[in-house]
Amino acid sequence: MSATILARLSLRLRTTNVNRQLERRFYAFTHVVNPQQRVLSSTSFKKGPVYNSNVNMSKVCLIVIDGWGLSDRAEGNAIINATTPVMDTFAKAGDANYCTLDASGLAVGLPDGMMGNSEVGHLNIGAGRVLFQDIVRINKDVAAKRMYENNYFAEACNRAKRKTGRLHLMGLTSDGGVHAHIEHLFALLDGAKKIGVQKVFVHFFGDGRDTRPTSGTKYMQQLIDYLAKTGYGSLSTIMGRYYAMDRDKRWERIQIAFEGLVQGKGEETTLDKVISVVEGRYNAAEETERQTDEFLKPIIIDKEGLIRDGDTVVFFNYRSDRARQLSEALGEKPPFETSVIPKDIELFTMTQYKKEFKFKMLYPPVVPSNVLAEWLSKKSAKQFHCAETEKYAHVTFFFNGGQEKSFEGEERCMVPSPKVATYDLQPEMNCAGVADELCKAIESGNFGFTMCNFAPPDMVGHTGKYEAAVIACTATDKAIGQVAECCKKNDVILLVTADHGNAELMKDEAGKPITQHTTNRVPFVMQGGNRKFGVPAGHNAALCDVAPTVLDLMGLDKPEDMGGISLLQK
């Protein structure tokens, strides 16, 4: 890319005044994958009417690239250094067909300066408004030091006092802020102490994806210091999110976490030695023996703090997709054979992890109305949503504003993600399969709105494997090109954007891997039709503006609920 283009790509606009203050929770909606089926929903389309009415609407296709941010820094930038002729051409299209969107912080309902993520991104894109996320709701209580006033947390504490006197707090322990936050753990500890729970045990899940891969010892020390300062609570176990927070039905991983929490299976050590034990794993002589925070196998520090019959457990992750499986194993029945299953435990969750779960939650959901998918259904426009397994929840549940059901006229397709340990082993993932299914839907002529997610830049970016991420971005660009050609042939307007940044910043200045998301802006591309972008002066274009732009292109009015605006010239 030329310096001029790169400068324009990295342009940052001033922070927006948020349009609408809605408090939301978010959780993933997954389906069981049949590995013998390439696609779970039927994609043998027959020619039929696009709409029940208003047949003159324009057709629109939306591509959401996962983890494709904009940066002019070439070092460690897997996007710039990939072969991306399609996106490069889009970037040269000029202001009429290209602009950038804010995908982080206040613009997507997160705390100022916080990086966006896939769930938040798809929620804002699909809702057409700024949705204040769970972390903002929780932060208000933390800042006001009133966690103990939360009715369900108080109930959890009082149950613990009444039953065994033992409360367990488990969750991702870092300041990454994507799934959980260490400050929330501290607030829960303070609340439990104020309510008078006799014993509190902390189970530390290592991050290493939304934080630096070997930053976990910093958070361990912060927790150890906090427990010592307050004289309350015990650090009982440590394990990586790879095991405790699997979301792809790899139950063998959850079993390792479960047996660490319940049976104490793992390396035993003492509190004064645990930091050196973890550092030893970081720096093991054999590369195959090294473990970063994400991949830490269970470490048992206090066997008194294992989960026992009658105990009470609070899972303090507020993002649900990676909390569901362990919750099912602990709070319901583990779907694997194991020697010890604690009886009469009660699990409380920070937010709603799954509608079918009966667990009490500290922060119940608030669901927005008239999101894009619902509004299209009300306007009798048929729609098609497609992604591979890893991101299927994002184009369905999250895109639809936290509603699991599909709306009338909405069809869904899930292409299985490859079954590999980590996606750097197959960096293209199945973006080609997603492109194929999306093109089938477009060519059928049945749908007024089609959309998909391309997962590789984000999923491979999280591995920290730069060379693999370059391959992932190259494959994604090729898939976008396939869809772009299909849209041209079928008179469909194409929009391309991203939910957040990631693959554009994979190395720090010292050359060490970066695996977390970024706060960089993302592209917004338009191909086809006779309309042009015209971002109003002073407006900080953001993800919430995508849905209103889609409706404008289709010739449909915008519901009053949508606080975003169309970015098209009037």
pLDDT in tens, 107-118: 999 989 999 999
> Could you tell me which residues are beta bridge partners of residue 312?
167, 346
* pLDDT at position 15 over 90: no
Annotated binding residues for substrate = 179, 209-210, 241, 247, 319-322, 391
For residues 1-17, average pLDDT:
32
Q: Could you tell me the two tokens for 92?
A: 């040269």
Q: For residue range 136-148, what is the model confidence (pLDDT) as tens digits?
A: 889 989 999 999 9
**Across 157-168, average pLDDT:** 98
At 43 the pLDDT is: 53
* pLDDT tens track for 211-255: 999 999 999 999 999 999 999 999 999 999 999 999 999 999 999
Q: What is the DSSP string of 316-383?
A: --SS-TTTHHHHHHHHT--SS--S---SS-EEEESS-S-TT---EESS-----SS-HHHHHHHTTB-E
Average pLDDT over residues 347-355: 96
Average pLDDT for 74-82: 98
Q: Which domains does the chain have, with CATH numbers?
A: 59-131+368-554 (3.40.720.10), 135-361 (3.40.1450.10)
E strand spans, 416-564? 449-454, 493-498, 522-527
Is the pLDDT at 21 greater than 50? The verdict is: no
Distance, in Å, from the CA atom of 202 to the CA atom of 235, rounded to the nearest integer, reads: 5
Whether pTM > 0.85 for this model: the answer is: no
Q: What is the pLDDT of residue 479?
A: 99
Question: Any bridge partners for residue 205, and if so which?
Answer: 172, 239
Number of Cβ within 10 Å of residue 509's Cβ equals: 8
Question: What tokens were used for 388?
Answer: 């591979």
Q: 26 falls in which pLDDT band (50, 70, 90)?
A: very low
For 547, list phi and psi in degrees, rounded to 5. -60, -45
The pLDDT score that the predictor gives to residue 133 is: 84
pLDDT given for residue 54 in this prediction? 47
Average pLDDT over residues 323-349: 97
State residue 365's pLDDT score: 86
The whole-number pLDDT of residue 22 equals 27
Provide the annotated binding site: 66, 118, 179, 209-210, 241, 247, 319-322, 391, 458, 462, 499-500, 517
End-to-end CA distance of the chain: 31
Taking each helix axis as running N to C, give the angle between helix 431-444 and helix 466-489, from 0 to 180 degrees, rounded to the nearest 10: 10
Reported as a single tens digit per residue, the pLDDT across 460-509 is: 999 999 999 999 999 999 999 999 999 999 999 999 999 999 999 999 99
Q: What percent of the chain has pLDDT over 90?
A: 86
Q: Tokens representing 472? A: 């992932």
- Model pLDDT, residue 570: 85
Q: How confident is the model at residue 134 (pLDDT cuts 50, 70, 90)?
A: confident
The residue with greater pLDDT, 546 or 94, is 546
Task: For the sheet with 267-268, list strands across it.
Answer: 267-268, 299-300, 234-240, 199-206, 166-172, 312-315, 346-349, 360-361
Smallest CA-to-CA distance from 316 within 115, 142, 160 is with 142
Residue 118 among the catalytic residues = yes
- What residues contact 57, with CB distance under 8 A and at least 6 apart? 50, 51, 381, 448, 554, 555, 556
Per-residue pLDDT at 388 exceeds 80? yes
Options 58, 118, 215, 236, the catalytic residue: 118
Is the per-residue pLDDT at 45 higher than 70?
no
Mean pLDDT of 380-395: 98
Q: What is the mean pLDDT of residues 386-399?
A: 97
Is residue 32 scored above 70 in pLDDT?
no
Mean pLDDT of 357-365: 95
Average pLDDT score over the chain:
91
For residue 9, the model assigns a pLDDT of 31
> What angle, rounded to 10 degrees, do the helices at 118-127 and 546-554 form?
40
pLDDT value of residue 50: 54
Which among 428, 424, 414 is positioned nearest to 456, based on CA atoms?
428
pLDDT given for residue 137 in this prediction: 87
Share of the chain above pLDDT 70, in %: 90
Range scoring the smallest mean pLDDT among 7-16, 361-370, 541-550: 7-16
Residue 157 has pLDDT above 50, yes or no: yes
**Is the Cβ–Cβ distance between 550 and 372 less than 8 Å?**
yes
Is the pLDDT at 46 greater than 90, yes or no? Answer: no
Let me know: does 449 contact 421? Beta carbons within 8 Å. no
Confidence class for position 51, pLDDT limits 50, 70, 90? low
| Residue ranges of the binding site for Mn(2+) | 66, 118, 458, 462, 499-500, 517
Backbone angles phi, psi at 77, to 5 degrees: -100, 100
Q: What was the pLDDT predicted at 36?
A: 29
Dihedral of the CA atoms 432, 437, 442, 447 (nearest 10)?
Answer: -140
Q: How far apart are CA 236 and CA 188, in angstroms?
A: 16
Residues 6+ apart with CB under 8 A from 144: none
Question: What pLDDT is attached to residue 24?
Answer: 28
Report pLDDT digits (tens) over 185-210: 999 999 999 999 999 999 999 999 99
In sign, the C-alpha dihedral spanning 175, 178, 181, 184 is positive
